[in-house]
Each structure stands twice: as C-alpha cells, then as structure tokens.
Amino acid sequence: MASYERLGADAIAVKGRLRAHKWLLLRRLSQVGILVLFLLGPWAGLWIIKGNLSSSLLLDSVPMTEPLVFLQMLAAGFVTPATTAITGVLIVAGFYLLVGGRAYCSWVCPVNMITDAANWLRQKLGIKPTTRFSHHVRYWMLAMVVLVALASGSMAYELINPVSLIHRGVIFGVGMTWAVILGVFLFDLFVTRRGWCSHVCPMGAAYGLIGKFSLLRVRADRREVCNDCMECFVVCPEPQVIQPALKGAERGIGPVIVAGECTNCGRCIDICSKDVFNFGTRFFK
Amino acid sequence: MTDAVRSENRPEKRKRAISRRRFMADVARTACGVGLLGLGIGMFSRAGALPAMSIRPPGALPEEDFLSACTRCGLCVRDCPYDVLQLGGLGEQVPIGTPYFVAREKACVMCEDIPCVPVCPTGALDHDLTDINKARMGLAVVVDQETCIAFLGLRCEVCFNVCPVRGEAITVDRRPNPRSDRHALFIPVVHSDACTGCGLCEQACILEKSAIKVLPTHLAKGELGSHYRLGWDEKAKAGKSLVSPDLEHRYNLPEGMRYDHDGEGLMQEEPSPFEDDPLDTLNRGLDGGT
Ligand code: SF4
Ligand code: SF4
Ligand code: SF4
Ligand code: SF4
Ligand code: SF4
C-alpha cells in the first residue's frame, strides 16, 4: 500500500512535478476561475456571469439552472416555470452529459476545494476513519430532498444545502458563510474520509446520475502495464469506481470507468507513473 | 461426506447471514438517519415565515408559491439598478437566499421597465407584470394615528407627496380639527386599489419611526362577510333607489329644537347673540351698561 509520504513520488520522478499535477492544477484553475468570474461582477462591475450556481446568466444571454434545484422546484409544486429556467436546466444537464456528470463536483463546485483541503489535512495528521457509512447514503439523501420538497411545498433542502449556501454567501457577501465552510471542513476532517462529497451530498448524487450516461469518461486504456502501486486508489475520492475498469480485464469488463460517481477529476491520470489512465469517451475506440 | 460438506458450508452460510443482517441494519440506520434529517429540514422550512417588514420584489407570487419557485439565484437583486433588493442571509428570519427589501431602509422606486422581473429565470417574479402600477408588493397603512403629525394638526403630507401613485394610492382627506374647532386636519388615506406597496411613503415619513408602514397585504387587509351589500354601490348598479319611494330624510322635531349629532343629539335652538347690524353687536356694552 502506498504510504502518504511517498504518494506521487514515482509519478513526479517519471513525468516531472508539473505533469504529475496537470489535472489537479487545471481543476483548481477552473474552480477558482469560475468563482472569480462570478465575483468580477460585484467587485469590479464586470458582469460576465450573474447570479449564482443555482441559476445564472452568462454574458446576459445564456441562462443556466442547477438540475437539482430545478427538480426541487417541480417537486415543491411549481410546475409551470418560465422558459428561461427550462432552457437553463437543459443547457446545464446537456453540458454535463458531455463532460461527465460529476465534473461539476471536481471542476466547478466550491465545496470541493474545502473537502479536498480537509482530506489533505486528514492525511497529514494521519486521522484514521472513525465513523463509517455507506457510499449510498447520498442517494437516500437525494430521495429525501425530493420528498421533503414534495411534502413541504418549498425548496426546503436549499435552506441547508452547503453548496448553495457557500456559493451564494461568497458571491453576495452574506454573513455567517464561514460557519458553513467550517462545518463541512470539520465534517470531512473528523467524521469520515471524504465524508460530505463521497457519501452524503445529494447534489453530487444527482450529478452522478447524469454521469451514468455522460460521454467523457476516464479510461484505464493501458491497464496491462499497471504495477499495482495502488496510488490511484489512494488519491481517488471514489476509489470503488476504479477497480472494475482497472482489474476487470479477465472478467471481460471494459477499461472505461463507467460508474457515475467518478468525478472526472483526473487525479488518477496524474498520479499514475505508468500512464495507465487517460480521458476518452465511454465508447470503444 | 455430507458432514464434511456441511462443515464447509456452515461458516460460509453463517457469514452470509450475518452480512445480510448487517446490510439490513445499515439500510435501516441510513433510512432512519436520513428520514429524521428530512423531517428536521421540513419543519425548519415551515418555521421561518416572512417577517412583516420584509417585502418581496414586484410581481412576486403569493408566498407559498414563491417559496417553491424561487431558486434563490439573486438575479433580481443584481438587476435592480437602485440596489433595493437583498437576499436573506443565514440566521435571518427571511427564508435563506430569497430576495426582499425593507421599505424603511430602501424602498422600491417603481422602475417603469421593472428590470427585476423579466430576469427572474423561473417566473417566481411573475413575468406577466409589465405595468409597475399593477404591482402589489404590500399595502401601506397609517398604522400610528397617535404620532402621525397630520393627525396632530400639522401639515405634513410628505408620504402623499413622495407616492408615485399620488392622488390614487394616497389622498389627503380634510377633516375638522376638534381641538381648535376652526382648522382642518390633512389626513393621509391609503387606497388599496391603487397602492403598489413600494414603501416610498414609509421610507420618507419624517418621524423617528415611520407612522405609515407597508405591510404584507394579508396582514393589512380586513375582509367583509360575503353577505354584506353596500347600499350605495347597489343603488349605482341598479341606476335607481332600491327602496321606493326614495325620500329625503327628515326629522319631525318640536318647534325650536334641532338635531345635531356633533352637539350630541337633540338641541334647543338658541337665539342668535348677534344683532342684525354688526355695528350694534360691536357697540354693545360701550355706552354705560345699557
Ligand atoms: S459532492 Fe456535492 S459538495 Fe461535493 S463537489 Fe459534488 S456537488 Fe459539490
Ligand atoms: S477514477 Fe480518477 S478521475 Fe475518477 S474520481 Fe477517481 S481519481 Fe478522479
Ligand atoms: S422595480 Fe426597480 S427599484 Fe423596484 S425592485 Fe424592481 S428594479 Fe428595484
Ligand atoms: S430572480 Fe427569481 S429566482 Fe432568482 S432570486 Fe429573484 S425571485 Fe428568486
Ligand atoms: S406604498 Fe406608499 S408610496 Fe408606495 S404606492 Fe403605496 S401609498 Fe404610495
């Protein structure tokens, strides 16, 4: 098993520090960049994108609406939204059908930076898993979110959804946002490894459902050269998704990581000194 | 042989039974935990009603519908050129992330093109609202007639003068001032059929705390029993009196009496203290008591 101290040393030796962090750096650039684009409006009067991740307007013309928010709206009983919202949700869902459902999680969602930081600190401090619960809790959460909207007739989950709370809080300068950030951070630091994003978050679950059908996927195309260093399993936020694609050759399983939970973060590509992984489509070449 | 098979199978079977039991327990635990959380969220969502001084933007659907339709994106906030609107924050009473304004701090100036409405992606702000005069954000009420200086006999009319629908939403009604018996009170009166609830009157009220306040319409309005008919309306509708013949009202009073409600009822007619010639009145008592 790879030790955390040595993690990535092989990849760095083979590919150099930059290429061994290529996707990670690009991802951070995307996450921070999107936040900055949203902030340019209120801070510099440059309105490239307006609103927040729940609904936004790009260049005053392209509407976007978050699918889970849209779903809650329908469940809450508002079934006649204006066309803007419908166009918006189609644009967003269509986009993630192309680039991978949970690409939202690793490339856009601001919470990911917090949970990644918590995970990093967790490894540094050597905190062992304390509470363990199933990866499937998030799907229960997703069902609960829809049911609560149905029963209460309002977007009840949006009152506590940390993704919306944090993004809106930062963009609109709403007070107390730090408390939510701290809450998520501490949850991931102490309760369980990758607790929020890989176990609980219903928004990630919803994007995961989109990811089941999405075009862009990570593939273990060169799986035959895998030297079993296991480092991809250590860095992956959803290690269970790698196993079938990487080790399924004898069982006739293809090299595509098909599980919707894969976030298309590309960390496995970065960390692999043998270049086993690459981005590709879900279809055979 | 069978024994051997059994002894091989048993632990395997037991393990499977245990893992199935653990699986069921896990599912039950998850379901209960998530269920409780859901219940909590549901109750939390019902607990936070909109406080009376928080007014929704123009065109907002009725509160129940609004809470199911608003994605809390803040686009309306962004497109308000006067920065009137704000989003409910954590720990505030306004449901988190939903837009509102507080009239006393910054009232809606009733933009003619209502930019906050068409930008709303879902229609939580109703896109059918194109004439800002038809907006009904709330209803202004002169809630404190003890401090409104118009009621104290001073001429103020500030609320009347700032009202964008002046003369229809607020009128100034003249009433006699019982304290002086010869001056008028200039009383601001709000009319619900024209008031948009913009709050400019509340913002402008010159008191330390506004005597006129915009309230959510459901708090501000009473409602007549459905069986009430207003005689004058019915008469106008019918185009004639419904009680026939329509006689002028008359009192049949004894000689020298009159009926005056302000003087509290039946009064004795007093002879006038004035002479026919005003000079005689003025000169009275000047020539040595005669
Ligand atoms: S799982 Fe949820 S919080 Fe985590 S990155 Fe995805 S959407 Fe954001
Ligand atoms: S499989 Fe690779 S791309 Fe997918 S989540 Fe894991 S590390 Fe990221
Ligand atoms: S009508 Fe004008 S001032 Fe009033 S909330 Fe809308 S944009 Fe702001
Ligand atoms: S624009 Fe519409 S959906 Fe967005 S915050 Fe305003 S009312 Fe809500
Ligand atoms: S709220 Fe006040 S200023 Fe606005 S329309 Fe009503 S009476 Fe006029």
Contact A160, B48 (CB under 8 A): no
> Residue B63: closest CA among chain A residues belongs to which residue?
A154
Domain count, chain B: 4
Give strand pairing partners of B212: B142
Pairwise CB contact (< 8 Å): A164 & B97? yes
Residue nearest atom 5 in ligand 5 by C-alpha distance:
B195
pLDDT of residue B114: 94
Q: Are residues B176 and B102 in the same domain?
A: no
Q: Is B290 contained in some domain?
A: no
Distance linking the first and last C-alpha atoms of chain A: 32
Q: For the ranges A40-49, A65-74, B68-77, B188-197, which has the lowest average pLDDT? A: A40-49
Q: How far is the CA of B34 from the centre of ligand 2 (A)?
A: 27
B36 pLDDT band, cuts 50/70/90, is confident
* CATH classification of the domain holding B205: 3.30.70
Q: Distances from the Cα of A75 to the Cαs of A69, A207, B69, in angstroms?
A: 10, 18, 10
Token digits of residue B69? 């339709």
- A95 pLDDT more than 90: yes
Pairwise CB contact (< 8 Å): A144 & B26? no
Contact A101, A260 (CB under 8 A): yes
Q: Are residues B164 and B144 in the same domain?
A: yes
Q: Are residues B128 and B160 in the same domain?
A: no
- B280 pLDDT more than 60: yes
Q: Is B33 contained in some domain?
A: yes
Report the pocket of ligand 1 as residue ranges, CB < 6 Å. Answer: A 105, 109, 111-112, 115, 163, 196-197, 201, 203-204
Name the residue of B114, B165, B203, B214 to mutate for ligand 3: max ligand atoms within 8 A of Cβ: B114
Of residues A43, A244, A263, A152, the one with CA closest to residue B78? A43
Rg of chain A over Cα atoms, rounded to whole angstroms, equals 19
- Measured from the CB, is residue A141 less than 6 Å from ligand 2? no
A77 pLDDT band, cuts 50/70/90, is confident
- Measured from the CB, is residue B116 less than 6 Å from ligand 4? no
Q: Distances from the Cα of A207 to the Cαs of A71, A101, A260, B133, B218, in angstroms?
A: 12, 5, 8, 43, 40
Could you read off the pLDDT of A194-243 as tens digits, one per residue?
Answer: 888 988 899 999 999 999 999 999 998 888 888 888 888 888 999 889 88
pLDDT of residue A4: 55
pLDDT of residue B289: 47
- The SS3 call for residue B203 is helix
Could you read off the pLDDT of B80-105 as tens digits, one per residue?
Answer: 999 999 998 887 888 888 999 999 99
- Measured from the CB, is residue B76 less than 6 Å from ligand 4? yes
Higher local confidence (pLDDT), A98 or B243: A98
User: What distance in Å separates residue A247's CA from the closest CA in chain B?
Assistant: 25
Pairwise CB contact (< 8 Å): B34 & A55? no
Over chain B, what is the mean pLDDT?
84
Contact B103, B82 (CB under 8 A): no
Residues of B whose CB is below 8 A from A138: none
Last residue in a domain, options B112, B136, B160:
B136
Token digits of residue A109? 């969602």
Q: How far is the CA of B13 from the centre of ligand 5 (A)?
A: 78
Last residue in a domain, options B203, B220, B237:
B220
B277 pLDDT band, cuts 50/70/90, is confident
- Residues 6 or more apart whose CB falls under 8 angstroms from that of A244 comprise A251, A253, A257, A258, A259
Pairwise CB contact (< 8 Å): A84 & B65? no
The domain ranges of chain A are 25-210
Q: Distances from the Cα of A22 to the Cαs of A156, A222, A268, in angstroms?
A: 39, 19, 11
Q: Pick from B41, B73, B74: which is nearest to A160 by CB? A: B41
Print the domain residue range for B79: 48-136
Q: Is B231 contained in some domain?
A: no
Q: Distances from the Cα of A256 to the Cαs of B69, B122, B207, in angstroms?
A: 39, 38, 71
Higher local confidence (pLDDT), B248 or A189: A189
Pairwise CB contact (< 8 Å): B67 & A154? yes
Contact B220, B212 (CB under 8 A): no
Q: Are residues B37 and B73 in the same domain?
A: no
Residue nearest atom 6 in ligand 2 by C-alpha distance:
A236
| Distance of alpha carbon A177 from alpha carbon A158, whole angstroms | 14
Could you read off the pLDDT of A16-47 as tens digits, one per residue?
Answer: 888 888 899 999 999 999 999 999 988 888 89
Token digits of residue A157? 């989950």
| Percentage of residues of chain B with pLDDT beyond 90 | 46
Contact A8, A271 (CB under 8 A): yes
A5 pLDDT band, cuts 50/70/90, is low
Is A192 in the B-facing interface, judged by CB distances under 8 Å?
no
Q: Are residues B142 and B97 in the same domain?
A: no
- B7 pLDDT more than 60: no
Q: Which amino acid is at A208?
A: G
Residues 206-245 of A with CB under 8 A from B: none
